[in-house]
Amino acid sequence: MKKTIITGAVFAGLAVLLGAFGAHALKDVLGRYASTWETGVQYQMFHAVGILIIGLLMEKQTSRLYNWAAILFSVGIVFFSGSLYVLSISKVTVLGAITPIGGVCFVVGWFLLILGVSKRTMSK
């Protein structure tokens, strides 16, 4: 639980730093890829908050489903947002092929979170 909350907070803090870095220091480098960078930052923040929520849910009940959801959100951030960051800076568009892997991790993570909450509600 504690590790999950710390992970979410680290990803959230990095999203803020990367957002500011992209808007200021990389403004000229990103050019037309600025919106791609912003998408990476937004999805990173959304899923960092998701990881924080999972950590809070784990305080009430430990669940392998919650644990896997947090892992998949973390992997999704690395693949989805990470690939968009590298694509934005390098302009190597073939890196966009990695992005959907992260997207699938996000979707499966949300599904596992739903299952975990549903199981918890059913058992009460």
Per-residue pLDDT of the chain (124 residues; tens, 9 = 90+): 899 999 999 999 999 999 999 999 998 899 999 999 999 999 999 999 999 999 999 998 889 999 999 999 999 999 999 999 999 999 999 988 999 999 999 999 999 999 999 986 665 5
54: in domain: yes
123: in domain: no
Helices (H), the chain: 2-23, 27-30, 34-60, 64-76, 82-90, 99-123
10: in domain: yes
pLDDT confidence of residue 1 = 85
What is the number of domains present in the chain? 1
122: in domain: no
pLDDT confidence of residue 95 = 85
Structure tokens given for 36: 């791609």
Please give the model's pTM, rounded to 2 decimal places. 0.93
Q: How far from 81 is each of 16, 34, 92, 119, CA to CA, in Å?
A: 13, 13, 15, 30
Domain hosting residue 80, numbered range: 1-117
56: in domain: yes
